[in-house]
């Protein structure tokens, strides 16, 4: 199933399925010189025994035979024949890979991808081909940590860095000038007025026609489209607002004529929701009404698939969170799978999306290439996902060292790029440095990660659940005293570990009982303190983490703070939190 945007005029083929596969080991030279030719990778693929194939989307190091491997793999599939028309080029669309990829078509290196989890497009030059000549697509993936090659993901992050083509791949045929983006922004929910921005691959003359919700498009209108695209205000017929409780969606098709021909040469169908989200005083407002957010932080993770989750798992995860009273999910800590965002749009789940980050420090702030790439990822993520009504805020740089003045330029730049790229949503980042954080003036929403009673301030205190209430009260008071009392507050991470099946009448650490006691206390604080606008428990499901000695702090090498385990088996806290937060026990 293709995520939006979709097409009816543009040939659009999903390449998911079984690809040829070759494992090249952990000492492959990926220097620029070595990458110039596909020969090494083609030879390895040709030498692979028949039947050595793997499924895309997929992660090679989630496969039994390569579990935990770090190195280089080559994938190959056949590109469908482009129409024989030589003016038609191609576009390969990848929704996300990790950690690093090189893309070759017919042996030519077309793209190197250094940003994990980012959606990206690769232009395949128009070639005059006999109609029956199909193309060879080779994708080289490397999951070794290398701060030069792939600086955005490092082995100290508290989530396992898999290698693979995590998400769907599509191949499209496009004319010389084609639609590169259609952005629909709500101007007025009630009347259904929207502002549409259409961008083309090249500025110039053409004609555009539009249609909402599958209705036949109107007559083409001659336009001159500048570099920055054109904007126009339109009104949605039969407007129905989007909210988590009533996730009404609309679709919008743009058709492009060029060259004076009678038929459109390209089209794009996007889906959007009529809704506004803004910060007003200390409240977060959806369609003008204050909203409180409750849910979880969620990693894209599964022991059998890594982050390359099947569509049904995405649905089950959302269903499990909603059944436990959630209306909110933080896509921690990287750009999300477009199919997951489509399901959040459809099923009614508000989303915090963020570019990749995990406790970056001065080394990163001083690294111009690192800063350039993370700002690029932030911008690309927003441009790709801005039409999803479920996304209600943008974040970045989880728990960076924002108590240091050297963090400020990067935070300022990320906040600026976010607001430039999408002025229609609030900006935040999750900090664990409060009350020493120096950058909270740069965000619209203050988001605090804290683990009182787990990473307890007094390690001698037995079962220190009592410090949760005290720490929450102190946080609210200190925000006020620092002048942030007028901003909305989200508890963006708070939680405790429990190993599935560990039951203990003492409710000792790692028992399901301790986690239940802990989360009941936290949810009670949220329900009793309207000052807290949002609560995102850490975390939805257990996930594999460190492969290093850091795992000594992570039993099984997993982060065990999930309310369900890695196979989505509910721990006892799931039912307890669900009863409270859905009101089933009469309190929530």
Q: Residues in the site for ligand ADA, rule: CB under 6 A?
A: 158, 333, 398-399, 432, 449, 493, 538, 559, 561
Q: Which is nearer to ligand ADA, 156 or 567 (CB)?
A: 156
Of 345 and 493, the one with the shorter C-beta distance to ligand ADA is: 493
Minimum distance of ligand ADA from residue 558's CB (angstroms): 10
DSSP 110-167: EEEE-STT--EEEEE------TTPPEEEEEEEE-S--TTTSTT--TTSSS----EE-S
* Closest distance to ligand ADA from the beta carbon of 540 (Å): 12
Nearest residue (beta carbon) to ligand ADA? 158
Cα angle 395-418-329, degrees, rounded to a multiple of 5: 30
Minimal CA–CA distance to 243: which of 350, 113, 355? 350
Task: List, in order, residues 6 or more apart from 428 with CB less than 8 Å away.
Answer: 352, 393, 394, 395, 443, 444, 445, 446, 447, 490, 492
Q: CB nearer to ligand ADA: give 284 or 543.
A: 543
Is residue 300 within 8 Å of 245, Cβ to Cβ? no
User: Phi and psi at residue 312, in whole multiples of 5°?
Assistant: -65, -30
Give me the least distance between CB of 395 and ligand ADA, in Å please: 11
CB of 115 or CB of 333, closer to ligand ADA: 333
| Least Cβ distance, residue 574 to ligand ADA (angstroms) | 18
User: For residues 99 and 155, what is the distance between their CA atoms, to the nearest angstrom?
Assistant: 11
**Residue 339: count of CB within 10 angstroms of its CB:** 21
Helix ranges, 447-571 (H) = 466-481, 512-528
For ligand ADA, the closer of residues 294 and 538 by Cβ is 538
Query: Using omega within 30 degrees of 0 as the cis cutoff, is the peptide bond preceding 435 cis?
Result: yes
CB hemisphere CA count around 482 (13 angstroms):
17
Nearer of residues 318 and 536 to ligand ADA, judged by Cβ: 536
Considering the complex, what minimum distance in angstroms separates the CB of residue 26 from ligand ADA?
27
Minimum CB distance to ligand ADA, residue 402 (Å): 13
Which of residues 75 and 546 has its CB atom nearest to ligand ADA in the complex? 546
Angle, vertex CA 539, rays to CA 538 and CA 542, nearest 5: 140
Minimum Å gap between C-beta 398 and ligand ADA is 5
Task: Give the nearest distance from C-beta 39 to ligand ADA in angstroms.
Answer: 41
Tokens 């006892």 appear where? Answer: 572
Q: Which is nearer to ligand ADA, 493 or 565 (CB)?
A: 493
* Of 323, 343, 499, nearest in space to 331 by CA: 343
């Amino acid at each position: 199933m293709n995520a939006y945007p979709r097409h009816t005029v543009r040939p659009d083929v999903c390449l998911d399925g079984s690809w040829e596969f070759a494992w090249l080991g952990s000492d492959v030279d990926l220097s620029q010189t070595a990458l110039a030719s596909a020969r090494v990778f083609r030879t390895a693929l040709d030498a692979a025994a028949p039947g050595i194939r793997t499924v895309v989307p997929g992660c090679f190091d989630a496969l039994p035979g390569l579990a935990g491997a770090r190195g280089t793999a080559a994938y190959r599939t056949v590109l469908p024949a482009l129409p024989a028309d030589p003016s038609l080029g191609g576009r390969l669309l990848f929704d996300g890979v990790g950690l690093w990829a090189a893309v070759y078509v017919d042996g030519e290196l077309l793209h190197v991808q250094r940003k994990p989890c980012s959606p990206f497009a690769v232009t395949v030059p128009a070639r005059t081909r006999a109609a029956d000549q199909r193309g060879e697509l080779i994708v080289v993936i490397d999951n070794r940590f290398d701060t030069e090659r792939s600086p955005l993901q490092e082995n100290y992050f508290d989530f396992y860095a898999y290698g693979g083509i995590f998400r769907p791949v599509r191949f499209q045929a496009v004319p010389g000038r084609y639609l590169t983006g259609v952005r629909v922004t709500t101007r007025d929910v009630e009347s259904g007025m929207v502002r549409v921005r259409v961008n083309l691959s090249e500025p110039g003359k053409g004609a555009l026609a539009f249609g909402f919700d599958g209705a036949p498009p109107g007559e083409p209108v001659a336009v001159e489209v500048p570099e920055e695209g054109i904007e126009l205000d339109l009104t949605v017929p039969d407007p129905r607002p989007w909210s988590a409780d009533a996730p009404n969606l609309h679709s919008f098709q743009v058709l492009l004529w060029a060259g004076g021909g009678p038929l459109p040469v390209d089209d794009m169908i996007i889906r959007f929701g009529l809704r506004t989200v803004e910060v007003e005083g200390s409240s977060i407002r959806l369609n003008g009404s204050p909203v409180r957010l409750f849910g979880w932080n969620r990693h894209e993770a599964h022991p059998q698939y890594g982050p390359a989750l099947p569509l049904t798992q995405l649905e089950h995860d959302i269903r499990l969170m909603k059944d436990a009273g959630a209306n909110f999910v933080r896509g921690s800590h990287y750009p999300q799978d477009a199919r997951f965002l489509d399901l959040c749009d459809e099923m009614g789940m508000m989303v915090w999306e963020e570019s990749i980050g995990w406790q970056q420090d001065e080394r990163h702030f001083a690294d111009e290439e690192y800063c350039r790439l993370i700002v690029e990822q932030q911008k690309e993520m927003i441009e790709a996902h801005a039409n999803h009504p479920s996304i209600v805020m943008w974040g970045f740089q989880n728990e960076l060292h924002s108590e240091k003045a050297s963090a400020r330029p990067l935070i300022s730049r990320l906040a600026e790029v976010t607001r430039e790229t999408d002025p229609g949503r609030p900006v935040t980042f999750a900090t664990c440095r409060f009350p020493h954080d120096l950058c909270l003036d740069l965000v619209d929403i203050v988001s605090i990660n804290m683990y009182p009673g787990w990473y307890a301030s007094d390690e001698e205190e037995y079962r220190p659940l009592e410090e949760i209430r005290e720490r929450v009260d102190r946080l609210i008071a200190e925000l006020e005293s620092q002048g942030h009392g007028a901003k909305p507050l989200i508890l963006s991470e708070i939680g405790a570990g429990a190993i599935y099946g560990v039951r203990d009448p003492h409710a000792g650490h790692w028992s399901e009982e301790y986690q239940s006691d802990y989360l009941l206390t936290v949810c009670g604080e949220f329900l009793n303190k309207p000052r807290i606008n949002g609560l995102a428990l850490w975390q939805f499901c257990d996930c594999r983490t460190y492969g290093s000695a850091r795992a000594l702090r992570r039993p099984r090498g997993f982060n065990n703070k999930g309310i369900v385990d890695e196979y989505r088996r509910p721990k006892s806290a799931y039912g307890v939190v669900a009863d409270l937060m859905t009101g089933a026990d009469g309190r929530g």
